[in-house]
Each structure stands twice: as C-alpha cells, then as structure tokens.
Amino acid sequence: MIKLEDWIDYMEGEADLKTMGRLGLLIEHSRADREVLSNLMRMRMLIEHADPAIALEPLTEKAGFLDRLHDRVMTFIEEGQRGRGRLSTSKSSASGSSRSEVRADDSKENSSALD
C-alpha cells in the first residue's frame, strides 16, 4: 500500500529516485493508482484556482497600478530617511483614501513567520 505522503512527494517532484521508479511503474500498470495521482493533481489545481489573490490580477495588470504602488513605497522610504517621526501610510495610494498611520520605527515583528 502506497502512502499518500509518497504520492504527494511524487507529484511535487520531491520523492527519492527509488520511490519515483516504484510509483512510476504503478502509474504505468495500475488504473487505480493513476486515479489516486490524478485526483491529487486535480485537487491541487482546484486549490490553485481558489486562490483569493486571483481576484487581484485584473487590477495589477492595469496600466499604472504597480507603478503607483512602487512610487508609494519609495516615497514612504524616502520620507522615513528624512527622519519623519510619523508617516502616513496613504501616500500615493491607488484610492487616495486616508488610512492608518504607522510609526516609522515600528518594526516590531515576530522573529519567526510561524505562530
């Protein structure tokens, strides 16, 4: 019985050579195993297409959007370099709406990306 972890590693190209060979043979000769892999790949694709950030694509493809974001970032940094104590986070924003403020020295963050 092949463990699901092995199929996942196979799909991701992370299985070792021995496992790759063993699973490759199974795929060649067993319809059931082909279906296991096929369903796993299908599920991965479903997840990929459920990415909420896909909704951003039309916006980021729009002319000027990323340029404005870039300008906003660079302006913020340059203002920080000039030693301003408090900086508005809404400079050059796409919407121009006023938003939260952040202290220039507010770099408090976790040492790890994990909770």
Partner 1 sequence: MEADNLLVERAKQGDMTAFSELVVRHQKSLLRLAFRVVRDLQTAQDVVQESFFKAHQKLKSFEGRSAFKSWIFQIALNTAKNKLRARSFDTVDLEKTPVSDGVDIEEAMMNDDLKVMIQSEIEKLPTKQRTALNLRIFEDLSFAEIAEVMACPYDTAKANYRHALMKLRHQLSESLVVEGWHNQQTRNLMEADA
- 26 binds partner 1 per the rule CB under 8 A: no
- Cβ proximity to partner 1, 26 vs 104, nearer residue: 104
**Tokens representing 94?**
């796409």
Residue burial 83-98, b: 16+ Cβ < 10 Å; e: rest: eeeebeeeeeeeeeee
Q: Which amino acid is at 78?
A: E
Which DSSP letter does residue 97 get?
Answer: -
Give the helix ranges, DSSP H, for the chain: 4-11, 17-29, 31-49, 57-61, 65-81
Contact between 39 and partner 1 per CB under 8 A: yes
Residue from 4, 21, 30, 84 touching partner 1 (CB under 8 A): that is 4
Q: Which of 21, 80, 84, 86 binds partner 1 (CB under 8 A)?
A: 80
Site residues, partner 1 (CB under 8 A): 4-5, 8-9, 12, 14, 35, 38-40, 42-44, 46-60, 66, 69-70, 72-74, 76-78, 80, 89, 93-95, 97, 99-100, 102, 104, 106-115
